[in-house]
Amino acid sequence: MKVPPIQILSLFPMVNSAIAPNFKTYDWQTYSCAYYQSGDSNSAATPLLLIHPIGVGLSARFWDRFCRNWVEGGNDRPIFAPDLLGCGKSAMPHATYLPEDWASQLAFFIKEVIGQPVIVVVQGALLPVALELVHYHPEQVKGLVFSGPPAWPLMIEDTADWLQRIRWNLFDSPLGWGFYVYACQEGFLRQFSIDQLFARAEDVDREWLDTLREGCQSFESRHAVYAFLSGFWRRDYRKIMAAIAQPVLVLMGDEASSISREGDQETPDQRLAAYETALSQVQLESMPGRNVLPYESTVAFVTFVRSFIANYQI
């Protein structure tokens, strides 16, 4: 992870949120990183570690609705929702973030802050971060939940380094800056959410849009998005998935889609079948929704996760 000098930009007023969780901080390497915790901190149950997606305005706040529903349902299992470096309230170095960078951050967080192995719940195309984590630190992971994982073609083909660098250089330029300014506008955020993320347009609500706008407060968050869009996470992960010994739950929306051309012809059932073949100890479930299941179908998502934990007694 190469770190050039940092420039600070902030173009939007702060968005007040009555439901904002209480964030804490810890230091990793030379950076201040943030997280919030739900549930009973004194519980002996295996904690959940939630890995948020990368995108314009996205951060650990993506998990707010899931955490509320989990706690309101009477489950005292601890939940930890960290902001990945470059996102939310964590430091935002100008860097080409790689999945192993974020996995290293989370491995430190599990060891030094949580202090015990966890059940990893990962959203969407941040799956490679969870795979790097369980690959290099298997002792820290007791189980995994893949929420709306990427289209299978995206998980089995290496993207050329030169192509990733070209994409990064294009994004990390005035052209990319202009794109990010535009992408932070509420109209774009709403339409993109309707077109690409949610099964029902009416579920793109005020809470969702306010959370995204809050995540756009610092334009330094653009570098994590650039790294994601440049495809630094695009590799062949079949060997890593085949080696996973822990139980895995794969949750797929019955209207799941893919933004990438490589995956736009794949049906949800075909995607589930591909992950079933790749994993040795896996539970597959289809549920109502599209690509942001913990937010758009929270109650069903929580129910499936609880059942999975109970089934495998983890």
278 in a domain, yes or no? Answer: yes
286: three-class secondary structure by DSSP: strand
DSSP-derived letter for residue 27 is E
Distance of CA 259 to the CA centre of its chain: 16
pTM of this prediction? 0.93
The backbone torsions φ and ψ at residue 62, rounded to the nearest 5 degrees and listed phi first, read -55, -30
CA distance 209 to 215: 10
Query: What is the pLDDT, as a whole number, of residue 74?
Result: 80
Tokens (6 digits) for 202? 């009416």
Residues of the chain above pLDDT 90, percent: 86
Q: 9 lies in a domain?
A: no
Q: What is the pLDDT of residue 8?
A: 31
- Tens of pLDDT, residues 39-76: 887 888 999 999 999 999 999 999 999 999 999 888 88
Where is pLDDT greater, at 301 or 13?
301
Domain-located, residue 240:
yes
Residue 153 sits in a domain of what CATH number?
Answer: 3.40.50.1820
95 — pLDDT class (breaks 50, 70, 90): very high
Residue 10 resides in a domain:
no
pLDDT in tens, 215-260: 999 999 999 999 999 999 999 999 999 999 999 999 999 999 987 6
Tell me how many domains the chain contains.
1
Residue 305 has pLDDT above 70, yes or no: yes
Range of the domain at 201: 23-312
CB atoms within 10 A of CB 18: 4
Alpha-carbon distance of 118 to 39, in angstroms, equals: 14
Does 17 reside within a domain? Answer: no
Pairing of the two strands 79-82 and 48-51: parallel
- Provide mean pLDDT across the span 80-95: 97
The answer to the question of residue 189 being in a domain is: yes
Within a domain: 4: no
Residue 60 lies inside a defined structural domain of this protein: yes
- 9, 209, 33: which is closest to 104 by C-alpha? 33
Q: Which two three-digit tokens encode residue 277?
A: 């073949």
Q: Is 141 helix (H, G, I), strand (E, B) or coil?
A: strand
| Exposure class string for 269-287: b at 16+ Cβ within 10 A, else e | eebbebbeebbeebbbbeb
SS3 283: strand
Per-residue CA distances from 200 to 194, 203, 255, 294, 303 (Å): 7, 6, 10, 14, 21
Task: Inform me whether the pLDDT recorded for 132 exceeds 70.
Answer: yes
Average pLDDT, rounded, for the chain: 92
How far apart are alpha carbons 140 and 118 in whole angstroms? 6
Pairing of strands 141-147, 23-28: unpaired
Is the predicted pLDDT of residue 4 greater than 60, yes or no? no
